[in-house]
Amino acid sequence: MEELVGLREGSPANPVTLHELWGRCPRIRRGVRGGLEWLKRVLFRVGEDWYFLMALGVLMALISYAMNFVVARVVRAHNWLYQEIGDSHLLRYLSWAVYPVALVSFSSGFSQSITPFSGGSGIPELKTILSGVVLDDYLDIKNFGAKVVGLSCTLASGSTIFLGKVGPFVHLSVMIAAYLGRVRVRTIRESENKSKQNEMLVAGAAVGVATVFAAPFSGVLFSIEVMSSHFSVWDYWRGFFTATCGAFMFRLLSVFSSEEETITVLYKTSFRVEVPFDLPEIFFFVALGAICGVMSCAYLFCQRTFLGFVKTNRFTSKLLATSKPLYSALAALALASVTYPPGVGRFFASRLSMGQHLDSLFDNNTWALATRNSSPPWPAELDPKNLWFEWYQPEFTIFGTLAFFLLMRFWMLILATTIPMPAGYFLPIFIYGAAIGRLLGEALSVAFPEGIVAGGIVNPIVPGSYALAGAAAFSGAVTHTISTALLAFELTGQLVHWLPVLMCVLAANAIAQSCQPSFYDGTIIVKKLPYLPWIRGRRLGSHPVNVGNFMSTAITTLAKDAPLPEVVKAVTSTDTAEYPLVESTESQILVGTVRRAQLLQALLARPPSWALGGQRHLHDILAGGCPTEPVTLQLSPDTTLHQAHHLFELLHLQSLFVTSRGRAVGFVSWVELKKAISSLTNPPAPK
């Protein structure tokens, strides 16, 4: 490499090297070095994490915007092909169906060929990881490319497949957060810290939602409600900082690309501000919440049952095991055939994209009253200025179209969740809830065409506000979250309906949480992931249950005075990762643990002279350098089930030893805890 050169000040020629030039200026060098040290101290005063968090938010915003840009171009090409291919129904059907079938097949085949962890939403696995379980290679950066390509193909298939972006993008964000966490460790040269890793992962989950919806507040709250059972306040500013950076950058890119004049919300609404709703309407909003709660229970039960059927059925399980792209193609073909616009698809607005569905459902006009005296024809082509025309069919009316949409999308959503490809399931249920609210709002507008009279003032009913409440309530009930109410406000910029929307969400959650596990918990159950369930219900009788009632007493202890032949026999006959170390065979006082791998290594490395001498014991091996670890936390047989459950969730534990007056009497792991909770939830039948 050539050496850098420069000219000395005032010298017309004779260039010198920079080393010579700066080497003779010690005062300037000290000043520059001091300035850099001062800048470093200022930057690190807040903490060394903030620039990694900012990089995470900006990077995920760039990826989200780039993905939307590419997907929009591909969808536009599909629409152009469908419109320009001619009047032949066969050609139009093929252009409508083959496009998503090819994309879905490629998405499934490409992502699964690189890594089997790229399919699905990813949030159930992330919940498992944040609870303390190690899933090998799930957050490896090599999965990133497979997830990005697969998700882009899924989104490019449009509303035919009717799947979203949130779940996989949260997985992508957490992958980048884990990678930046490793870069941070190497940069500041500190040892691996599990708590620091979890802090980055929680921030990644928040920015994943924020860069999809440009909603930093609901992104942080969503990560708290969905991802972790216990949330550290120390992670709060990290989540908000990175989510704000990501959301700001995501919307700023729309301004730079001339898509927007300034930073605005994604879905603009124009609801009435002066008197947004009358007081009697609160009852209907709460009733809407109850309807969404009941519908969510039906959806969750049917989805979990069908997903279990697909995994256990001989034909579908074999197809998923041997040829995932073929199963994906068959499912996509069925969905594309049903949504073909000149066919059945025209009766449930199949030509609308995901965003156009929300734009039309949040419309503040009353469709039922607008079509009472006139019948606008179904347009041959989509009219961007009158999207609500897609919801009107003279044979069906507005109510028939909305009801048919709810009926068809119910089973279509369930079928789509079984396709093994990267896909998000939050936005579809958000739209489904908006359709439920719109149907109720339109029915109320017909029942009260002049509005509900309150105090002598008449204000017309706005069906779009019911769509907003229904979207938040149904999605919140399916995911068991309250933050969907805030997400609805951040998406639309509407805060005037905060009270009825929140009451609607609470009513829906009250019903759903008492009847069914959430969508993500149900997926964990079907996939049999190692996740610790919650203890729900006051009538379970869980408070009197103690650790002594369900602990495992099949424990292999190693005493310091145990002869080496007994130690070798115990180690070779069991495959326990670590053994409890007790003071003596007689006392059984727990003093620490010793790992099996390290003990085996020490036994193999023992000196040959030991075989010629007298009998050796375990304490000779330990004195020779075999490391032991202290037991800093242990349970008592009198510890309650709730206390043990909280410890395992809060500290992300896998197992704990049980001692009575210092003596090791057993241990409790996830297996024992899950069995204890299961026996309370589903008690065995009396003999």
- Note whether residue 540 is domain-resident: no
Interval 559-563 mean pLDDT: 84
Q: Which of 39-48, 105-114, 135-144, 473-482 has the highest mean pLDDT?
A: 473-482
Q: Coil, strand or helix: which one is 397?
A: helix
100 plus 204 within the same structural domain: yes
- Rounded to whole angstroms, the Cα distance separating 251 from 58 reads 11
435 plus 322 within the same structural domain: yes
- Note whether residue 263 is domain-resident: no
- Note whether residue 322 is domain-resident: yes
Domain that holds residue 7: 2-45
406 plus 483 within the same structural domain: yes
Q: What CATH number should be reported for the domain holding residue 200?
A: 1.10.3080.10
520 plus 555 within the same structural domain: no
- pLDDT at residue 687 greater than cutoff 50: no
Least confident span in 102-116, 442-456, 573-587: 442-456
| Residue 487: predicted pLDDT | 92
Structure tokens at 575: 């495959």
Q: Does the model's pTM come out above 0.75?
A: yes
Least confident span in 336-345, 540-549, 595-604, 651-660: 540-549
CA 102 remoteness from chain centre: 27
482 plus 400 within the same structural domain: yes
- Which of 566, 604, 646 minimizes the C-alpha distance to 579? 566
In this predicted model, what pLDDT tens digit does every residue of 290-316 receive, in sequence order?
A: 999 999 999 999 999 999 899 888 898
Sign of CA dihedral 317, 320, 326, 332: positive
Dihedrals φ, ψ of 6, to 5°? -155, 175
- Rounded to whole angstroms, the Cα distance separating 106 from 321 reads 17
- Rounded to whole angstroms, the Cα distance separating 548 from 553 reads 9
Residue 46 — pLDDT band, cuts 50, 70, 90?
Answer: very low
- Rounded to whole angstroms, the Cα distance separating 547 from 441 reads 52
- pLDDT at residue 97 greater than cutoff 50: yes
- Rounded to whole angstroms, the Cα distance separating 510 from 283 reads 16
301 plus 215 within the same structural domain: no
In this predicted model, what pLDDT tens digit does every residue of 436-445 receive, in sequence order?
A: 999 999 999 8
- pLDDT at residue 11 greater than cutoff 60: no
C-beta separation of 401 from 531 below 8 A: no
- Note whether residue 533 is domain-resident: no
Residue 43 — pLDDT band, cuts 50, 70, 90?
Answer: low
- Note whether residue 267 is domain-resident: no
- Rounded to whole angstroms, the Cα distance separating 66 from 683 reads 52
For the chain, give the percent of residues with pLDDT over 90.
26
| Residue 540: predicted pLDDT | 57
Interval 163-187 mean pLDDT: 85
- Note whether residue 687 is domain-resident: no
In this predicted model, what pLDDT tens digit does every residue of 489-515 receive, in sequence order?
A: 998 888 888 889 999 999 999 999 988
DSSP 647: H
249 plus 304 within the same structural domain: no
Average confidence score pLDDT of the chain: 83
Burial of 177 (0-12, 13-18, 19+ CB in 10 A): buried
| Residue 546: predicted pLDDT | 86
| Residue 189: predicted pLDDT | 66
159 plus 204 within the same structural domain: yes
Q: Which of 82-91, 433-442, 643-652 has the highest mean pLDDT?
A: 433-442
- Rounded to whole angstroms, the Cα distance separating 170 from 205 reads 5
379 plus 421 within the same structural domain: yes
412 plus 454 within the same structural domain: yes
In this predicted model, what pLDDT tens digit does every residue of 138-151 receive, in sequence order?
A: 888 778 888 899 99
- Which of 172, 154, 68 minimizes the C-alpha distance to 421? 154
- pLDDT at residue 423 greater than cutoff 60: yes
Structural domains in the chain (count): 4
| Residue 622: predicted pLDDT | 79
- Note whether residue 374 is domain-resident: yes
- Rounded to whole angstroms, the Cα distance separating 192 from 176 reads 17
335 plus 404 within the same structural domain: yes
Structure tokens at 657: 């030893």
Q: What CATH number should be reported for the domain holding residue 562?
A: 3.10.580.10
Residue 1 — pLDDT band, cuts 50, 70, 90?
Answer: very low
Task: Give buried/exposed letters for 22-44 (b at 16+ CB in 10 A, else e).
Answer: eeeeeeeeeeeeeeeeeeeeeee
- Which of 479, 467, 471 minimizes the C-alpha distance to 509? 479
Interval 380-388 mean pLDDT: 80
C-beta separation of 2 from 15 below 8 A: no
- Rounded to whole angstroms, the Cα distance separating 510 from 429 reads 18
199 plus 236 within the same structural domain: yes
Q: Which of 161-170, 387-396, 561-570 has the highest mean pLDDT?
A: 161-170
The more confidently predicted of residues 518 and 270 is 518
| DSSP secondary structure string for all residues of 548-609 | HHH-B-----EETT-BHHHHHHHHHH---SEEEEES-TTT-BEEEEEEHHHHHHHHHTS-GG
Burial of 426 (0-12, 13-18, 19+ CB in 10 A): buried
Q: Write out 467-508 in H/E/C secondary structure.
A: HHHHHHHHHHHHHCCCHHHHHHHHHHCCCCCHHHHHHHHHHH
- pLDDT at residue 241 greater than cutoff 70: yes
Burial of 273 (0-12, 13-18, 19+ CB in 10 A): exposed
- Note whether residue 221 is domain-resident: yes
- Measured between alpha carbons, how far apart are the two ends of the chain, in Å? 85
